[in-house]
Structure 1
Amino acid sequence: MRRVTVVVATRDRRHDLERSLPRHPAPVILVDNGSADGTPAFVRQRFPHVRVVEVGRNLGAPARNIGARLAATPYVAFADDDSWWDPGALERAADVLDAHPRLAVLAARMLVGDEQALDPICGDMVDSPLKTEPDLPGPSVLGFLACGVVVRREAYLAAGGFDDVVFFYGEEQRLALDLAAAGWGLAYVEEVVAHHHPSGSRDSRGRRILAARNAVLTAVLRRPWRVVARIVLTTARSGPVGWHGLRAALGRLPRALARRRTLPPPVEAACRSLERVVRVSSQRSSRPAPPGRTSPGS
């Protein structure tokens, strides 16, 4: 009996899917965010084992919630249209989750490109200053990469999944904080491996703007006001990308305020310890820390 469903959210990435979908073990649910390149019909024709759900518009990261709700397995593995799981990885992940009932998020080791280089975020996770809890299978984390994570479906849905305030890019942070606040465990498990071959159709400047916007929004959603003020000030000082990010955050601010609740003291303390590590690391490298960054290895 299958224990893991692969959920892929996509939009206008038909060519990436042609490479990645054959590598996903069934069951697979693909949620299409209003593609205009014929993705749904293409997938149905070429990959009949994939369940295609068309939402008709761009829901961003919350499209994954639809796939998770439709899944009939206790665990859900997320993948992007340009990522996939190593053979046998999901069986191993399910074994780990079975053995650790408090574990809600299993963050995998992510290998990037044909060179299979380790994603730097995985290094942050290995070196996490958070202690390894005795009932968890690896270093505790407060973040993860959505294209390389297996979640306990029950916990994920109870925490609300990804939200439409942050929408996309950095969407993992708020969810990680809420799961930790609810008492769930999040851990990096090195022996579970995923692969990421970043698409060539990415807008790097646009993503930096989204990162700045979403750092502010995530802080408003969950962090103390003094932290919000620091992140806003750091973002404002970071130049044009930061200014655009702040402007973009304004339109979403009412929804963020309506959903605001602060974290339990132990989770907030963990955030602060992780941010101190990021600031020290940035000082040593002579590069400013990204506004509001909490390392996933964090």
Structure 2
Amino acid sequence: MRYTVVVITKDRRHSLLATLARTRELADRPPVIVVDNASRDGTADAVAEQFPEFRLIRSPRNLGAVGRNVAADHVRTPYIAFCDDDTWWEPDAPSRAAGLLDAHPRLAVVTGRILVEPGGREDPIVPELRHSPVPGPPWLPGPALGSFLAGASMVRADAFREAGGFSPRLWLGGEEELLGADLMALGWQLCFADDVVVHHEPSRLREPHLRRRHGIRNTLWFTWLRRPLPAAVRRTAGLLRTLPRDRVTAGALADAAAGLPWVARERRTLPADVEARLRRLETSQRESTARRYVS
């Protein structure tokens, strides 16, 4: 088997069970690991009862994105097909992604085309991925990316571990940007694949204000952890101009400021070639209609 499916979840039993039922339909019958982030709605017990063939990890606390790191420690296949508890892969999509990773040894991440359900319309982020301005080597099988979407991506397990996985500092919300940059700094490539299809039916059980707060905070932390000073100032100023002026933003800025001591200690700017790639993304990030910090 070339890949393992990894799902993290928290208090979304209904969505998760639907996702796992669809995962059973994958043509390859891959191993599946579910990390339950201390759900209180009976999620873990329901998984154990209805999907005994899947590996269930019960975390005593909510690990956020780090739950994926925990699962990766148990993965014995070359690749990891991540999905969220409200996303799922089309039956042949993981095989397509794994084929791309097989064929391109320096490719670390394949992000698929996301269709929003019900209705199957393309997610607004897809055109930005398809027309990514990030330069990449000619051998890439799709547009080069500067980051990725964990709920719709397959990653090379060795590359994921080499880069350290998801940062426990960032927890959840835009956590992919830091990992994507660190992968590129290690010489890995990320790409979009139009024929790798992932479906997303957004759960109604969401915490949009908390997610926005973490997204703003994590964007600022990443910027000051990895970007050179002029780029960090430029992106911070641009972000501050566009953020809603409300309590969520105020809380996010306070959180970001509270983290400045550790950000300063752990700051490590990216290699010049990686920084050049990220600089090419600044216009699309500024003009994006799919990346607005609203809730």
Q: Which residue of 2 aligns with 1:270?
A: 277
Q: Which residue of 1 aligns with 2:266?
A: 259
Distance (Å, rounded) in 2 between the aligned partners of 1:253 and 1:213: 11
Distance (Å, rounded) in 2 between the aligned partners of 1:230 and 1:132: 24
> Which contiguous aligned blocks of 4+ residues in structure 1 show a shift greater than 6 angstroms?
none
Q: Which residue of 1 aligns with 2:16?
A: 17
Q: Which residue of 2 aligns with 1:4?
A: 3
The amino acid that maps onto 1:269 is A
The amino acid that maps onto 2:218 is N
Q: CA deviation at 1:234?
A: 4.2
State the Cα deviation string for residues 163-192 of structure 1 (Å, max 9, x = none). Answer: 012111101100110111111010101111
Q: Which residue of 1 aligns with 2:139?
A: 135
Q: Which residue of 1 aligns with 2:231?
A: 227
Distance (Å, rounded) in 2 between the aligned partners of 1:254 and 1:54: 33
State the Cα deviation string for residues 62-113 of structure 1 (Å, max 9, x = none). Answer: 1101111211100001010011100111111111110111110001111111
- CA contact 1:235–1:246 (8 Å) conserved in 2: no
The amino acid that maps onto 1:199 is S
Q: Which residue of 2 aligns with 1:242?
A: 249
Alignment gaps of 5+ in structure 2: none
> TM-score normalized by structure 2?
0.91
Distance 1:55 1:258, change over 3 A: farther
Q: Name which of 201, 205, 210 aligns with 1:201.
A: 205
Distance (Å, rounded) in 2 between the aligned partners of 1:244 and 1:79: 29
Q: CA deviation at 1:250?
A: 2.8
Q: Alignment identity in percent?
A: 45
The amino acid that maps onto 1:59 is L
The amino acid that maps onto 2:265 is A
Please give the root-mean-square deviation of Cα atoms over the aligned residues, in Å.
Answer: 1.9
Distance (Å, rounded) in 2 between the aligned partners of 1:254 and 1:11: 30
- CA contact 2:173–2:212 (8 Å) conserved in 1: no
Q: Which residue of 1 aligns with 2:189?
A: 185
Distance (Å, rounded) in 1 between the aligned partners of 2:161 and 2:263: 19
Alignment gaps of 5+ in structure 1: 292-298
Distance (Å, rounded) in 2 between the aligned partners of 1:223 and 1:99: 32
Do residues 65 (structure 1) and 69 (structure 2) align? yes
Distance (Å, rounded) in 2 between the aligned partners of 1:290 and 1:19: 29
Q: Where in structure 2 are the equivalents of 1:18-167 lying within 5 Å? A: 18-24=17-23, 25=26, 26-167=30-171
- CA contact 2:2–2:98 (8 Å) conserved in 1: yes
Distance (Å, rounded) in 1 between the aligned partners of 2:83 and 2:178: 19
The amino acid that maps onto 2:267 is R
> TM-score normalized by structure 1?
0.90
The amino acid that maps onto 2:250 is W
Which has the larger displacement, 250-259 or 42-51?
250-259
Q: What is the aligned length?
A: 285
The amino acid that maps onto 1:16 is S
Distance (Å, rounded) in 2 between the aligned partners of 1:52 and 1:254: 37
The alignment partner of 1:120 has SS state of: coil
Do residues 216 (structure 1) and 220 (structure 2) align? yes
- CA contact 1:132–1:140 (8 Å) conserved in 2: yes
Distance (Å, rounded) in 1 between the aligned partners of 2:112 and 2:210: 26
Which has the larger displacement, 257-266 or 235-244?
235-244
Distance (Å, rounded) in 1 between the aligned partners of 2:262 and 2:73: 23
